[in-house]
Structure 1
Amino acid sequence: MPVDGRLARGDATRQAVLRRAMDVASVDGLDGLSIGELAKDLNLSKSGVFAVFGSKEELQLATIDAANAIFTEQVVDRVPASATGVDRFSELCERWLDYSEKRIFPGGCFFFHTSAEYDARDGRVHDALVARSRNWTRLLVDTLRAADVDDAEQVVFEVEALARTANAFSVLHGSPDAYRRARIGIRARLAELR
């Protein structure tokens, strides 16, 4: 049975809108997303974009999911399967800093910006960001626990603080050495664990 061309076009529209929405949200936040503006940017009809997502909130949630898929591909999936324990944790941190530093999204790490935007709000968008953040932190903590690291939560807290600061200094201040400094701090902390 032949595939309906409308389904393929709808999927192509969805992917194009999500790619643009991730870039916009990384700079302007999830509240900065507008179905009308995205349609205009991509030379699509507003009604066509609305038909794909149905509401701004659904667009925001789909954008979070799409950004998480890219984060997973760029960070988690690039860690060699052979890496274990503290070495695996170190690889996760390196890939995480690479992802932010390379500006996969123009605003740096998509989740630093959007999480700050929604940290004191209620609702489905907030809950989706919290769930994603908890999953990432759990992965980091579990990786250290598997290596029998004492107080894995403290180590992850410190590493996340360094990575977030690198992203902020790079984006806000244009600091050319923010990621280098974060790497120095993370490596020193991990050297204590080895």
Structure 2
Amino acid sequence: MPVDGRIARGNATRSLVLRRAVDDASVHGLAGLSIGGLAAELELSKSGLFALFGSKEDLQLATIETAQGIFRAHVGTPAQAVAAGLPRLRALCENWLTYSEKRIFPGGCFFFNVSAEFDARPGRVRDAIAAVGRAFLAELRESAAEAVAAGHLDADPELLAFELHALGRAANADAVLHGGAEPYRLARRAFAARLDQGQSTCGDR
């Protein structure tokens, strides 16, 4: 059944707007997003964008969802093609650093930036951001647990996931603030040292 031309054009416009929105929000924050501002940037009808998004909050929530899809495409999905356990955990860590280092979003990690912006602001936007953060931390924890179950590591999966998550966030923050690749180099060394330590402990048992 052929797709209605208006629906196809609306979907294309929505994708265009959200791609610009995630880039803008990674630098200037979600609070700075506006339907009027995006319409002006992209030379689109303001009324047409209101019809697509309805409100600023709806635009912010759609932007978070789009950013999550981009994040998963660069970090989580490729890691699922790697063997479960320690290899997948290493892949998640490396993919995460690469995603930040390559500036998939111009402001660095989208979710690091908007988390700092909304962490003390209750509401649907904060809840959506927090849900993404919890999901990725759970993915790290699950991979760590699989590595322990397979005998690859001797570690507390919850603590290990927390440590790896903290290292990745620190690398992104330092690189965005100070520039250069040194934070990523140090984070890669720290990831490797922490995971190698878990392997050594496992081997000593």
TM-score range, shorter chain: over 0.9
Say whether 1:162 aligns with 2:167: yes
Q: Which residue of 1 aligns with 2:47?
A: 47
Q: Does structure 2 retain, via aligned residues, the 8 Å contact 1:169–1:175?
A: no
TM-score (norm 1): 0.96
* Counterpart residue number, 1:103: 103
Contact 1:39/1:49 (CA < 8 Å) preserved in 2?
A: yes
Change (3 A) 1:3 1:81: closer
Who is 1:4 aligned against? 4
C-alpha deviation, 1:151, in angstroms:
1.4
One of 177, 187, 190 as aligned partner of 2:192 = 187
Q: Name the CA distance, whole Å, in 2 between partners of 1:173 and 1:150.
A: 33
| Structure 1 spans left out of the alignment, 5+ residues | none
| Residues in 2 aligned to 1:139 and 1:162: alpha-carbon distance in whole angstroms | 16
The Cα shift of 1:150 comes to 2.8
> Which stretch shows the higher mean deviation, 183-192 or 141-150?
141-150
**How is 1:60-99 mapped onto 2 (pairs within 5 angstroms)?**
60-79=60-79, 81-99=81-99
* Preserved contact between residue 22 and residue 63 of structure 2 (Cα < 8 Å): yes
**Aligned match of 2:57:** 57
TM-score, normalised relative to structure 2: 0.91
The number of residues matched between the two structures is 194
Partner SS for 2:31:
helix
Amino acid at match of 1:22: V
For structure 2, the residue ranges without an aligned partner over 5 or more in a row are 149-153, 200-205
Distance 1:191 1:119 in 2: 33
How far does the alpha carbon of each residue in 1:32-73 deviate from its partner, in whole angstroms, 9 at most, with x for none?
A: 101111001111011111110000000000000000001111
| Max Rg structure | 2
Counterpart of 1:60, as a letter, is: Q
Distance 1:150 1:172 in 2: 32
Question: Counterpart of 1:147 in 2: which secondary structure?
Answer: helix
Which position in structure 2 is the counterpart of 1:17? 17
Structure 1 ranges of 4+ moved more than 6 A:
none
